[in-house]
Amino acid sequence: MAHRMKRTASASEIRSWDASLAALAADLEQAGLQGVEVLVEYQLPLSSKRVDVVLAGQHPRHGGPSYVVVELKQWTTATVFEDQPELVVQPTYGRRPILHPVAQVRGYVEYMIDFLGSLHATEDVVTGVAYLHNATDDGVAELCNYPQDALGRLFTARDRGAFLDHLRSRLSPTNASIYADRLVNSFVAPSRQLLAVAAEELRIREQFVLLDEQRVAYDLVLHEVEKAKQGNSKAVVIVSGGPGSGKSVIALSLLGELGRRGIRVAHATGSRSFTQTLRKVTGRRVAALFRYFNQFMDAEPNGLDVLIADEAHRLRETSANRWTKAELRSDKRQVDELIDAARVPVFLLDQNQVVRPGEMGTVEDIEKHARERGLDVYRIDLNTQYRSGGSAEYVEWVERLLGLSPGGPVSWEGNDRFEVRTAPSPSAMEGALADKLAAHQNARMAAGYCWTWSDPRADGSLVPDVQIGEWSRPWNLKGDRAIGDAPPAALWASDERGFGQVGCVYTAQGFEYEWNGVLIGPDLVWRTDRWVPVRSANRDPDFRNTKKVSDADFDVLVRNVYKVLLTRGLRGVYLHSTDPETQGFLEQMVSDAPRR
């Protein structure tokens, strides 16, 4: 673990391995399968999720590779959560519901089939089992009623003989090492990117596989919807997680399923780019489902069954602005408007992505307002990383680099799932990203808001405002209409024509692309041993008013801006600073990292 994952196992993990792996080893020996390959703590591609064990061997009947994904549990007791069969309560976790182990392992199997090239177009190659090796059927009787199939089966200590028979029916030691290597070294198919399948997602939720806490959030919302319908109740669900942890995947999965069930549901964000992109890719018939936070000022109380507030860190104090009609103006908080609008309001947020003055969505504030109304609140933390190659280490590195988490900057030690490089110049960065495009991998360049943002010229050509030395390029368009080959602002990140214009945080936030180029402007520079914000170098109109945005607030906001920009990539990132000392510091931080 220390070698492959750059982390030390916790004491609880070691205790778990001592108990569970010893039990599994004894079972393999008794089954005569000592020669199969055992992959412990196998990490899923493009995710920081780890599978307890993958057993690899040859299929004893039809030959070829065969894999058994094993989720090991030391449980002796567990019960179903409030008649919701996919959620269970286990004493170790208190009263907090967790995912049924069969649903958990089935999700892992489906995820592997979706993302591992060596498993594409195969049949009957992977199966999943949840093995509760300390439990008797009496202690977990309620769990045994959960539907099982080839992708997910449940075995307890009492079923040990059946478990051994299952392993023998799936595995033989022949060519085990070859097939294990094939799995470990499999190419990773590009993730089904969120916005590319949003339209289909409203009809076919299986486009996305939800894992662990993602599935818990999904099931919990559906459960609360049914409870609200039956008992005229109301509850708030808060889902928090870092960039790329699956918040918007959950949102779209819920939107599709609730729509199919005939549940009154709407999706809302504070992002024009994100909302307009969702409207475009899903088509006119469902565009009305996608709204903005400030469109619920006069909403009928509980007029919706579910309101999905995505990117809720962009909540503002009130919905009123200079265009708000006089009869709608009030001091009511925006969060209260959203809570009042639905029986089950769902907030999905990353409070470390607040990048604009006036944005104030936090888990604590949302919960406070819900509790003041006497409402039940369910909080779920998505501790998984899917963007940035599934590299939680990279996100942590970015936060430490920018001083957003304690410990100070550290050198990037390399990661075989995510690549970090510096570029000596913007032109070198653009050239490297153009090579990725030529290889059919999407890429974008974005920058801090440190240059004037001009309107297009009269002839429709774009002004190359972002000038660094002899290199210059235009910003993405401001408006909602395409001009020439440039897409509208809201589609810069998702339209292939966006390459060639430089994006900013307002067009990049909420989106992802495989390769990410980030130009760190002169508004944040490294001096000796610390970051120094340079407010005078920033051109964002929202930061001009020093009475509304103090220097201390600017310092935090500009770091959050660069965190958002640095965490858009799925496969890798290229960094360049316009400031020589800062560029030298960045090169020092990534100089020893291996490159693919």
Residue count (the chain)? 596
Domain boundaries, the chain: 11-184, 194-320+330-382, 388-590
Burial (CB count <10 Å: 0-12, 13-18, 19+), residue 44: buried
Residues 484/539, Cβ–Cβ less than 8 Å: no
Structure tokens at 104: 């958990």
Could you give the CA distance from residue 33 to residue 56 in angstroms, rounded to a whole number? 10
Q: Taking Cα atoms as reference points, which of 246, 566, 214, 258 lies closest to residue 420?
A: 566
Note the pLDDT of residue 458.
87
Could you give the CA distance from residue 260 to residue 488 in angstroms, rounded to a whole number? 31
List helix spans (H) across 234-319. 247-260, 272-282
Could you give the CA distance from residue 565 to residue 388 in angstroms, rounded to a whole number? 12
Higher pLDDT, 103 or 195: 103
Neighbours of 500 (CB within 10 A): 15
Structure tokens at 442: 């999407």
Is the pLDDT assigned to residue 571 strictly greater than 80? Answer: yes
Task: Give the mean pLDDT of 282-304.
Answer: 78
Higher pLDDT, 284 or 405: 405
Site of tokens 């079923």 = 159
- Average predicted confidence (pLDDT) for the chain: 86
How far CA 401 is from CA of 410, 465, 582, in Å, comes to 7, 28, 12
Q: What is the pTM of this model?
A: 0.70
Is the pLDDT assigned to residue 596 strictly greater than 80? Answer: no
Instruction: With cut-offs at 50, 70 and 90, classify the pLDDT of residue 434.
Output: very high
Residues 474/465, Cβ–Cβ less than 8 Å: yes
Please report the DSSP string for 342-391 in residue order: EEEEEEEE-GGG--STTB---HHHHHHHHHHTT-EEEEEEE----TGGG-
Could you give the CA distance from residue 393 to residue 570 in angstroms, rounded to a whole number? 13
Query: Of 262-271, 383-392, 395-404, which has the strongest mean pLDDT?
Result: 395-404
Is the pLDDT assigned to residue 195 strictly greater than 70? Answer: no
Note the pLDDT of residue 99.
94
Note the pLDDT of residue 197.
40
Is the pLDDT assigned to residue 322 strictly greater than 80? Answer: no
* CA-angle at 298, arms to 297 and 303, nearest 5°: 110
Site of tokens 């307009």 = 276
Backbone φ and ψ for 513, nearest 5 degrees, come out as -145, 160
Could you give the CA distance from residue 212 to residue 383 in angstroms, rounded to a whole number? 10
Q: Which amino acid is at 324?
A: T
What confidence tens digit (pLDDT) does each residue in 391-425 have? 678 888 999 999 998 999 999 988 777 899 999 99
Burial (CB count <10 Å: 0-12, 13-18, 19+), residue 414: middle
Looking at 448-557, which runs of residues are DSSP E strands? 466-468, 471-473, 502-503, 513-520, 524-527, 530-533
Residues 571/595, Cβ–Cβ less than 8 Å: no
Please enumerate, as own/partner, the contacts of 459-467 that have beta carbons within 8 Å and a separation of 24 or more: 460/484, 462/486, 462/501, 466/502, 466/519
Note the pLDDT of residue 193.
37
Instruction: Identify the H or E element spanning 335.
Output: helix 334-341
List helix spans (H) across 190-246. 198-201, 213-231
Is the pLDDT assigned to residue 203 strictly greater than 70? Answer: no
Instruction: With cut-offs at 50, 70 and 90, classify the pLDDT of residue 233.
Output: confident
Q: Three-class SS of residue 467?
A: strand
Could you give the CA distance from residue 8 to residue 91 in angstroms, rounded to a whole number? 26
CATH fourth-level superfamily of 194-320+330-382:
P-loop containing nucleotide triphosphate hydrolases (3.40.50.300)
Query: Of 190-204, 212-226, 345-359, which has the strongest mean pLDDT?
Result: 212-226
Note the pLDDT of residue 60.
95
How far CA 57 is from CA of 39, 115, 179, in Å, comes to 11, 20, 6
Question: Worst-scoring range by mean pLDDT, 95-99, 228-232, 346-350, 432-436?
Answer: 228-232
List helix spans (H) across 353-504. 363-372, 392-401, 426-438
pLDDT above 70 coverage of the chain, percent = 89
Gap between the terminal Cα atoms of the chain? 21
Instruction: With cut-offs at 50, 70 and 90, classify the pLDDT of residue 7.
Output: low
Is the pLDDT assigned to residue 202 strictly greater than 60? Answer: no
Task: Give the mean pLDDT of 64-69.
Answer: 97
Site of tokens 């988490």 = 405
What confidence tens digit (pLDDT) does each residue in 492-548 have? 988 889 999 999 998 888 788 899 999 999 999 999 999 999 999 999 998 888 888
Query: How do strand 569-577 and strand 98-99 relate by DSSP bridges?
Result: unpaired
Is the pLDDT assigned to residue 205 strictly greater than 60? Answer: no
